[in-house]
Amino acid sequence: MYAETDFLLALVKDDDWLGDAAVSVYREHSEELWTPSSRSSNSS
């Protein structure tokens, strides 16, 4: 599952309105998440 920058920011910001939802998605799918930078580092 692709994780966009907004999702990552929602995880780290204390006052983000999407924070609770982002944490829930992260807990359910943490093994499936990837970002553009993680994808490129796995291919080298």
Greater confidence (3 vs 30) lies with: 30
pLDDT digits (tens, 9 = 90+) for 4-39: 888 889 999 999 999 999 999 999 999 998 887 765
Question: Which of 40, 44, 33 minimizes the C-alpha distance to 4?
Answer: 33
Three-state SS at 30: coil
Query: Quick one: tokens of 16?
Result: 């983000």
Amino acid letter for position 25: V
Give the per-residue pLDDT at 5.
85
Give the per-residue pLDDT at 37.
73
Give the per-residue pLDDT at 39.
59
**DSSP string across 12-27:** H-TT-TTHHHHHHHHH
| CA atoms within 13 Å, Cβ hemisphere of 38 | 11
The alpha carbon dihedral of 17, 19, 20, 26 has a sign of positive
Give the per-residue pLDDT at 19.
94
